Amino acid sequence: MSGRNAREGNARDGTANDGGELAAVFAALYGAEPDGVWAAPGRVNLIGEHTDYNEGFVLPFAIDRTARVAVRLRRGDPGMLRVATLQGDGGRDDGGRRRSGVVEVAPDAMEPTAVPPWARYIAGVVWAFRQRGVDVPALDVLLDSDVPIGAGLSSSAAIECAVALAVDDLTGSALGREELVLLCRRAENDFVGVPTGILDQSASLLGTAEHALFLDCRSREARQVSLPLAAAGLSILVVDTKVSHAHDTGGYKGLVAACVRGARELGVPALRDVPASRLGEARDVLDYVTFHRVRHIVTENERVLETVRLLEGAGAAGAEADGAEADGPDADGAAAKARGPGAIGDLLTASHASMRDDFEISCAELDLAVDAALGAGALGARMTGGGFGGSAIALVRRDAAGTVTERVREAFAEAGYARPDIFGVAPGPGARRL
DSSP labels for 147-181? Answer: SPTTSSS-HHHHHHHHHHHHHHHHHT----HHHHH
**3-state DSSP call for residue 392?**
strand
DSSP labels for 294-357? Answer: HHHHHHHHHHHHHHHHHHH-TTTTGGG-TTS-SS-S-HHHHHTSPPSGGG-HHHHHHHHHHHHH
For 233: left if phi > 0, alpha if psi spans -120 to 50, otherwise beta; the answer is left
Q: Looking at the DSSP assignment, which residues form a beta bridge with residue 239?
A: 392, 422
Q: Looking at the DSSP assignment, which residues form a beta bridge with residue 40?
A: 67
Q: Looking at the DSSP assignment, which residues form a beta bridge with residue 396?
A: 235
Neighbours of 82 (CB within 10 A): 18
Query: In whole angstroms, what is the distance from residue 186 CA to residue 128 CA?
Result: 7
Contact predicate 147/155, CB 8 Å: yes
Q: Looking at the DSSP assignment, which residues form a beta bridge with residue 425?
A: 236
| Annotation says 216 is catalytic | no
Which CB contacts under 8 angstroms, 24+ apart, belong to 402-408? 403/376, 403/377, 404/237, 404/373, 404/376, 404/377, 404/378, 405/237, 406/376, 407/372, 407/373, 407/375, 407/376, 408/239, 408/369, 408/372, 408/373, 408/376
Which residue among the candidates 52, 146, 200, 240 is catalytic per the annotation? 200
Query: In whole angstroms, what is the distance from residue 228 CA to residue 344 CA?
Result: 13
192-195-199 Cα angle (round to 5): 105
Which residues are designated catalytic? Answer: 200
